[in-house]
Structure 1
């Protein structure tokens, strides 16, 4: 009896299996490349965010911005003979010195800095550091007795950035307002308020302080602070210039010459 011819079906099965494996491999390779490409924005190494990049971003965004520096005893002894008044291609056009703290504190470098800086080609200013647990009237008197401002100097500045631990938020606001009123009565100008973004929104906003010129601190990687009515933005605490051995705060005043003039003593 003749034998049946062997079936070729198993050959086709093997061929289909091999074809499926090859096709699956090609698909997985292409899919993995697509996934890698799609996730590249999340997985690639982020370039370091440097103070140089921050400086350039701020002044690119506010091209008529005016650069200024604020200084206290924490900057140590300043070599005014070697002091550089330029960062990159931006001249430093205003210097603000801390004069007093609380009801009896005196910045130990203020008198020296104030006297040494009087002939510099910059506009000078002075600020008081408000201690929220101390009497506001005595704090105003401490500042007034210490600081003599002249025409062309910056208006006085109140630095308020901490909550009180012994009184309510409303009582703190009353004390801040009292300091501002006393200083305004003495110098015949409305003072400027320096504060942080968060403190402004938590304590000062819509409480009668928005009418004052606002100098706000925010060191984050942002195009501008949350406090939209700011006139000066302290955007860095890691500045560096020749003549000062410690890091300094960097500030940008927006609004150009017109706004700059409005912040000066008459």
Structure 2
């Protein structure tokens, strides 16, 4: 978009037949003509980066039983979160086999840890890391699952619980070199309100249905009884990006 302004000045002199001849005068010097400046074109506006396309994923545990991972991959599932551990001692008996089979089928896999509210955060992190071992997908961060169900009858006060969760996250983040994905079950979030406190970590938000979550999310759990070829019964369905960026 350019605008070129050009101004021309013209001086005209005339006299009648009866007018006396003008006296000879020194030649006048015309005003210098300004040289038009070259048109200046501003740099083009930067092209906005395209919105990352959402891809389909699931989360599963031994409760799903055997899984036919090639069929799951063939159905368009790109990533899977698999329960690895719970508390300081439980290991999901199908985690290792499911992870290996999913990776062979081309599905990006990460483990998640079910956090026990009355157990030490660092001890839980060390148990989780020991089970994950060296087989990790760098594009898919590990996850921690924060819920009320299946934990202690009376959770600790919010400040103490948040400190234990922070210990878990710090230990896992530093060991794996990436921020851990945080899943806050709605009932847990209603009671403790930790979403803002943990906003420095990507969040995995549960909102069943077609409308995306209101708060920022990296993974959206939109169905808890989804149907996927290769899995008997219902399974949690998710959407996200790989790498899982914060939305």
**TM-score between the two structures when normalised by the length of structure 2:** 0.70
Could you give the per-residue CA deviations for residues 187-239 of structure 1, whole angstroms, max 9, x where no partner exists? 111111012245335431332x01100001122x461224x111111010111
User: Match of 2:45?
Assistant: none
SS in 2 for 1:100: strand
Q: Is the 8 A contact 1:194 1:214 kept in 2?
A: yes
Any unmatched runs of 5+ in structure 2? Answer: 1-50
Contact 1:72 1:107 in 2 (8 A): yes
Aligned residue number for residue 250 of structure 1: 237
1:207-246 maps to which residues of 2 (within 5 A)? Answer: 207=197, 209-219=198-208, 221=209, 223-226=211-214, 228-246=215-233
Q: In the alignment, which residue of structure 2 is the partner of 1:59?
A: none
**Corresponding residue for 2:20?**
none
**Superposition misfits of 4+ residues, deviation over 4 angstroms:** none
Aligned to 1:169: 158
For the structure 1 residues 189 and 204, does the alpha-carbon distance in structure 2 shift closer, same or farther, using more than 3 Å as the test? same
The unaligned stretches of length 5 or more in structure 1 are 1-61, 254-258
Does structure 1 residue 179 correspond to structure 2 residue 168?
yes
Q: Whose helix proportion is higher, 1 or 2? A: 1
Q: In 2, distance between residues paired with 1:101 and 1:131?
A: 7
Matching of residue 157 in structure 1 with residue 143 in structure 2: yes
TM-align CA RMSD: 2.2
Q: Partner residue of 2:95? A: 110
CA distance in 1, matches of 2:137, 2:62: 25
Compared CA separation, residues 86 and 250, structure 1 to 2 (3 A): farther
- Given that 1:101 and 1:130 are in contact with CA atoms closer than 8 Å, whether structure 2 keeps it comes out as yes
Structure 1 residue 139: deviation in Å? 0.6
1:84 Cα deviation from its structure 2 partner = 3.1
CA 1:140/1:67 → structure 2, altered by over 3 Å: closer, same or farther? same
Counting matched residue pairs gives: 190
Of 235-244 and 99-108, the range deviating more from structure 2? 235-244
Change in Cα spacing, 1:77 to 1:118, as seen in structure 2 (3 Å) is same
